[in-house]
């Protein structure tokens, strides 16, 4: 039986810490809850997220494949696609400074940003992020929820 809550029409955007294994630096990058519909999907890649600390472990036992959807600065064709080995440059990932540009892109390309749910969740501090038993991300923060309306 399939869950009635498995609806990918809305996507949640987060800002979360990431350890770039190539540059050996921490950076805050934009991640998504799912692969979005529409043109933004060409700017999203799935990568493996390494531990932020050698002391981290996942309670769900799935330490081997901690993949996340990341928002890229350039289309996948420019970055080299979805392969982790090709996304070595820290400039490929979108970060906090890019949020105004991302919102402009979403509005221009047929996406609607659900500002009411974002305000409500930020006000109540429900499901904003925080520490997860299923991810290595540490303290991720919700930016917004959006959907594609073609």
- Do the domain assignments include residue 2? no
- Establish if 4 belongs to a structural domain: no
Residue 137 located in a structural domain: yes
Give me Rg for the CA atoms of the chain: 15
pLDDT tens string 47-106 = 877 655 544 454 555 444 578 899 999 888 765 554 444 555 667 899 999 999 999 999
Within-domain flag for 24: yes
Look at the chain and report how many structural domains it folds into: 1
Question: Pick the residue with more confidence: 88 or 17?
Answer: 17
In a domain, 5, yes or no: no
Domain membership of residue 57 as a residue range: 10-148
What percentage of the chain carries pLDDT values higher than 70?
63
In-domain check, residue 67: yes
Q: Looking at the domain assignment, is residue 70 inside a domain?
A: yes
Contact 40, 74 (CB under 8 A): no
Q: Considering the entire predicted model, what is its pTM? A: 0.75
What are the strands, taking DSSP E only, across 64-123?
67-71, 111-113
pLDDT at 119: 72
User: Residue 3 domain-assigned?
Assistant: no
């Amino acid at each position: 039986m399939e869950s009635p809550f498995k609806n990918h029409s809305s996507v949640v955007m987060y800002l979360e810490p990431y350890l770039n294994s190539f540059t050996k630096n921490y950076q805050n990058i934009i991640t998504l809850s799912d692969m979005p519909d529409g043109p933004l999907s060409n700017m999203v890649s799935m990568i493996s997220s390494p531990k932020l600390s050698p002391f981290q472990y996942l309670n769900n036992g799935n330490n081997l494949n901690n993949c996340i959807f990341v928002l890229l600065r350039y289309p996948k064709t420019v970055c080299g696609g979805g392969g982790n080995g090709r996304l070595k440059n820290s400039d490929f990932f979108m970060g906090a400074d890019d949020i105004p540009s991302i919102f402009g892109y979403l509005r221009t390309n047929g996406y609607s940003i659900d500002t009411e749910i974002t305000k409500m969740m930020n006000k109540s501090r429900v499901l904003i992020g925080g520490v997860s038993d299923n991810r290595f991300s540490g303290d991720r923060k919700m930016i917004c929820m959006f959907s594609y309306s073609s």
